[in-house]
Amino acid sequence: MSVSVVVCVYTEERWRDIGDAVASVLAQSLPACEVLLVVDHNPALLARLRERYAASAPVRVLANAGPRGLSAGRNTGIVAARGDIVAFLDDDATAEPAWLARLTAAYADPRVLAVGGRTLPAWASGRRPAWFPEEFDWVVGCTYAGQPRGLVPVRNVLGGNASFRRAAFARTGGFVTGIGRDGDRRPLGCEETELCIRLARDHPGAVLLIDDLALIRHRVPAARERFAYFRRRTWAEGLSKALVARSVGAGAGLASERRQAGRVLPRGIARGVRDVLRGDLAGAARAGAILVGGALAAGGYVVGAVRAGRAGALAGTAPLLVPEAPEPAAAPAPATAPEVSGREVSRAD
């Protein structure tokens, strides 16, 4: 089973990070058939990358063929990909050597359409800020506290550490272009959530998984260690969730978030209080951050829902026309679900 890895890039400020990301893919124990660097409307970066990787056969450098933004860049990679599986890695992340081997192992089951992994933060300061609650690690693009360990079924994978069966895009289309990030502008997200919900809707019986041994490390710059970014990102998450709910319905779009708010966050607040009683005064800051982050996300959702209602249909929801890829070799579906541990992840993404 062949794998194409897509890395979307947009700024020369991440030149070293891009090189590290590509190097980590080329060092995989299971080699990728190609690495696709998709450049988001930056001619200087496009030219520089083409010069750097001109002699590297597995690496292809492409220009984003759609509107500016991460979603269109990913769609460009999907259309250009030659592999049976299309994997995505953030441009400021590095993959552990067994990353691709772990992602692809689950595709032996023909019902599996997506597999994601575990993303750990690499803090610029060298350590987690004392006030930053693990329940909100999704704010910096990482796996949050509360995810069960092992190979687990999920509603959606996290876009910076994810893979999809390429054939599935022929029916469902790609990422919508009206939800996710556009460079360093407002830190929106959730495009992978919307896509995964559509995948499950369009392919009855589809299985989406996370394998926590498919490990990457995501760099967190100093600016994102600050509470100001935490506030912006949680508010933007609410705005994004409103767009997801408008696209796929609030029932599917908010199912995991309701579990997150009802189970994981209260436990995090209680743990912060216990930490204070044990002498860790930063526990109060973590508990407070959970309350503030939850309130901001809820407020962003309300505002986003009102705006979405006024704006009408979500832009960019037309199906993406991707070349037909051969379906996986026919195999009898097992009588039971893939052997997994834990419960469904309550993703706040």
Higher pLDDT, 112 or 236: 112
> What value does the mean pLDDT take over residues 141-159?
87
User: Tokens 């696209």 label which residue?
Assistant: 247
Confidence category of residue 149, pLDDT binned at 50, 70, 90: confident
The values of phi and psi at residue 251, to 5°, are: -60, -55
Confidence category of residue 255, pLDDT binned at 50, 70, 90: low
Confidence category of residue 287, pLDDT binned at 50, 70, 90: very high
**For residue 189, pLDDT beyond 70:** no
Contact call for residues 163 and 3 (beta carbons, < 8 A): yes
Can you give the pTM of this predicted structure? 0.84
**For residue 233, pLDDT beyond 80:** yes
Q: Is 213 exposed, middle or buried (0-12, 13-18, 19+ CB in 10 A)?
A: middle
> What value does the mean pLDDT take over residues 96-113?
96
- Predicted pLDDT at 340: 43
- First vs last C-alpha separation in the chain: 29
Contact call for residues 268 and 145 (beta carbons, < 8 A): yes
Q: Residue 39's CB: how many other CB atoms inside 10 A?
A: 25
If residue 341 lies in a helix (H) or strand (E), which one and from where to where? none
Q: 34-72 pLDDT, tens per residue?
A: 999 999 999 999 999 999 999 988 999 999 999 998 999
Q: 3-26 pLDDT, tens per residue?
A: 999 999 999 999 999 999 999 999
When the pLDDT of each residue in the chain is averaged and rounded to a whole number, the result is 85
For residue 13 the two structure tokens come to 């400020």
